[in-house]
Amino acid sequence: MSAGVRSNEVHSTTYNALETARQIGLYILLIIASLIVLFPIFFSLSLAVQGNTVAPSLLPNFSKLDWSSFPQAFAQEPNLGRWIINSFVVSIAVTVGQLVTSSLAAYALATLDFPGKNIFFLIFLATLMIPWEATVIPNYLTIARDLHWKDSYQGLIVPFLASGFGIFLLRQYFMTIPRDLYEAAIIDGCGRTRYLWSILLPLSRPALGTLAVYAFLNTYNQYYWPLLITDSSEWRTTQVGITAFRSTEAAVFNLQMAGTLIVMVPTLLLLIIGQRQLVRGLTAGALKG
Amino acid sequence: MSAVDQPESKSAQPFDTVKSVNTDEVVTVSPPGQAAPLTESYSNASYIRRRRWQNFGWALLYMAPALFLFAAFVFWPFFQSIYLSFFITDQAGQTVRFNDVQYYSRILNLDGSGRTEYLQSIWVTVLFSLMVVPLGIVTSVALAMLATAKVKIIGVFRTIFTSSVAISVASASVIWALIYNPSIKATTWLVDALHLKTQGLLLDASTALPAVAFMTIWTALGFNFIITLSGIQAIPQDLYESSKIDGANGWNSFRYITLPLLTPTLLFLFIISTISCFQAFTQFNVLIANEGPNGSTNVMVFQLFTAFFKDTRYGFASAIAVVLFMVVLVLTLVQYRLLDRKVHYQ
């Protein structure tokens, strides 16, 4: 019996040693993968702190890091702050707009029983099938030529206030909420709009959060439309601004990288704070492509 | 993926529709004017009908903002694009002369003009997808497998692997432009190893497209990783446990459990990635900003942009847009079909 216990002990120590080795191996692999994935970010940070040099190296001299490029980027491009404000105004407006229009439409589709519902369902579904290239030229003509909305917030915001993805995301969530709740509320004399506002929406916070994070991220990172619809520097959003900044500071690598890192901060923070919502939104919204 | 991936499947039908159909059937079989036996609380069929039409009014009101916006910025411009593609337009985008299908036959080189640059650009786009999609998927599977490791701070690593979703393609392009910049020695080793005649990877016709493709794989990595990881996490754990008891090693359980069960996710990713490759614009506009060395990076969307924004040839640009739409539509339909199958058979 004692022999048996002993061999068990031996077994478990070798097992533990193997397990520890396996763990260390996994950590090494994970760290290598992380370094590769993060390489572009390290690269930009490294260039940003090397001062204004025409031949920066891959790694900075850690004894004399030069962080002045960050305030300098704001001095060199007075509109940098304005671009960030623009991006925030546009992204917040679009996010709020999509939350409102999507929850209203999703409520009708998910909860109300009305004739012709399937037709409306198909109309909303069709919006997911039409890629932006197929609409961008007439939209540009409408906004820029007919409405004269170039260089304005409304030109950047209004075309994106409704989202097919948002409608389907919220509809799916609304449908998980028991219909008895609706029936009971209506019998108790609760109006349809009040039911949406005071019962359905508070219960749907996770889905609303998902849509909010997703919409904000997508809008903040837009490039094509703001490029078309903004001419003057002060109306640019961060993404268009930063590519323009790159051309004006073509040889000043540290400023380019500092500026790029600055405009990346909001979305990186969003990733860290709202990762769960973001992941949910992306796995659901993947459909839109 | 579960939230909106099955909009057309039967299970996703709102059950109040089903209920109302039932009610109608009951009404038709019951004697007129008499209460239907199955509807107790609202005994009157006409009441139900009235309520449905009342609902219709409210529903229309609730859907009105979205419907109006979609009409103005999706449906009308979509049909307008098709319309414009049959016309020669002036600088202001007004139609000047009916042009029949000439733009289409030019794009597909059916007019015998010998101008193959448009077909070439379709080919470049396909080539770009072929470079990005398979490698992107393989990388994300590898990363996702790694991210299932049972170590303590795996959450941190997952955030790191996800990070590129938070970085816009525009910002990423500015960074990668410097990575590929010859005066920064990050990629000179590769230029030397390939014995390129030019200074940088983006300047050579043979490497410009692969360089943009590589950068695109990086920008898409975070998204692909999220999708793949959620696919892997959806695989029931007991399958692995029982295969372990049967003596399967890590590779075997990956090969015979993970991979087959992940196929729907990977097919989905394949289609989505291909669609986004066909729509890729930002990286080409920032990294290359023209049609590339020997037209080697002149993808369809960039050609559309050139015709539309630089040359203001709205009619011709619309024709390119319609061709692109057809490609994306086919891919989207394939994707719906695949997802549908997955919903039914899994």
Q: How far apart are CA A9 and CA B283, in angstroms?
A: 59
**Residue whose pair of structure tokens reads 């850690």 in the numeric block:** A62
Do the Cβ atoms of A164 and B70 come within 8 Å?
Answer: yes
Interface check B129 vs A, CB under 8 A? no
Do the Cβ atoms of A282 and B165 come within 8 Å?
Answer: yes
Residue of A nearest to B180 (CA): A40
Same domain, B28 and B148: no
Length of chain B measured in residues = 346
Same domain, B63 and B166: no
Same domain, B80 and B118: no
CA terminus-to-terminus distance, chain A: 64
Dump pLDDT digits (tens) for A199-217: 999 999 999 999 999 999 9
Same domain, B200 and B326: yes
**Closest to B63 (Cβ–Cβ): which among A120, A243, A283?**
A120
Same domain, B79 and B114: no
Do the Cβ atoms of B322 and A27 come within 8 Å?
Answer: no
Boundaries of every domain in chain A: 2-48, 71-288
Interface check B103 vs A, CB under 8 A? no
B261 within a domain of the structure (yes/no): yes
Q: How far apart are CA B268 and CA B22, in angstroms?
A: 36
Do the Cβ atoms of A223 and B20 come within 8 Å?
Answer: no
Which of B10, B69, B103, B158 is the best mutation test for A, with the most CBs of A within 10 A? B69
B90 within a domain of the structure (yes/no): no
B78 within a domain of the structure (yes/no): yes
**CATH classification number, A71-288, choose in 3.40.50.150, 1.10.10.10, 1.10.3720.10, 1.20.1630.10:** 1.10.3720.10
**Ordered DSSP codes for B217-269:** HHHHHHHHHHHHHHHHHTS-HHHHHHHHHTT--HHHHIIIIIHHHHHHHHHHH
B91 within a domain of the structure (yes/no): no
Tell me the chain A residues in contact with residue B224 when contact means C-beta distances shorter than 8 Å. Answer: none
Interface check B86 vs A, CB under 8 A? no
For residue B44, give its domain range.
Answer: 10-84
Same domain, B217 and B253: yes
Q: How far apart are CA A92 and CA A220, in angstroms?
A: 9
**Closest to A37 (Cβ–Cβ): which among B60, B63, B160?**
B160
For residues A161 and A94, the answer to whether their CB atoms sit within 8 Å is: yes
Do the Cβ atoms of A167 and B66 come within 8 Å?
Answer: yes
Paired tokens of B340? 């549908």
- Domain count for chain B, please give it: 2
Which of B163, B284, B334 is the best mutation test for A, with the most CBs of A within 10 A? B163
Instruction: Select from B21, B50, B84 the last residue of a domain.
Output: B84
B94 within a domain of the structure (yes/no): no
**In degrees rounded to 5, what are phi and psi of residue B98?**
-65, 135
Q: How far apart are CA B281 and CA B278, in angstroms?
A: 9
- Give pLDDT tens digits along chain B (346 positions): 344 443 333 333 333 333 333 333 333 344 444 444 444 455 678 888 888 888 999 999 999 999 999 999 999 999 999 999 999 999 888 889 998 889 999 888 888 777 888 889 999 999 999 999 999 999 999 999 999 988 889 999 999 999 999 999 999 999 999 999 888 878 888 888 888 887 889 988 899 999 999 999 999 999 999 999 998 988 888 888 888 888 888 888 888 889 888 988 888 899 889 999 999 999 999 999 888 888 899 999 999 999 999 999 999 999 999 999 998 888 888 877 776 655 433 3
What average pLDDT score do residues A231-260 get?
A: 92
Interface A-B, measured as beta-carbon pairs within 8 A, has a size of 309
Instruction: Select from B19, B53, B84 the last residue of a domain.
Output: B84
The CA–CA distances, whole Å, from B140 to B6, B221, B329 equal: 24, 6, 25
Range 143-172 of B in CB contact (< 8 A) with A: 143, 146-147, 149, 151, 154, 157, 159-172
The vertex-B204 CA angle with B107 and B136, nearest 5°, equals: 75
B140 within a domain of the structure (yes/no): yes
Interface check B4 vs A, CB under 8 A? yes
Secondary-structure breakdown of chain A: helix, strand, coil percentages, each rounded to the nearest 5: 80, 0, 20
Same domain, B55 and B177: no
Instruction: Indicate which CATH number applies to the domain containing B179.
Output: 1.10.3720.10
Overall pTM > 0.90: no
Do the Cβ atoms of B321 and A134 come within 8 Å?
Answer: yes
Interface check A226 vs B, CB under 8 A? no
Same domain, B154 and B218: yes
Q: Report long-range pairs for B136-139 (Cβ below 8 Å, ≥24 apart).
A: B136/B216, B136/B217, B136/B220, B136/B221, B136/B224, B136/B273, B137/B224, B137/B228, B137/B266, B137/B269, B137/B270, B137/B273, B139/B217, B139/B221, B139/B224
Q: What is the pLDDT of residue A48?
A: 93
**Closest to A282 (Cβ–Cβ): which among B73, B226, B282?**
B226
Same domain, B113 and B152: yes
B99 within a domain of the structure (yes/no): no
**Closest to A101 (Cβ–Cβ): which among B66, B163, B328?**
B66
Q: What is the pLDDT of residue A212?
A: 94
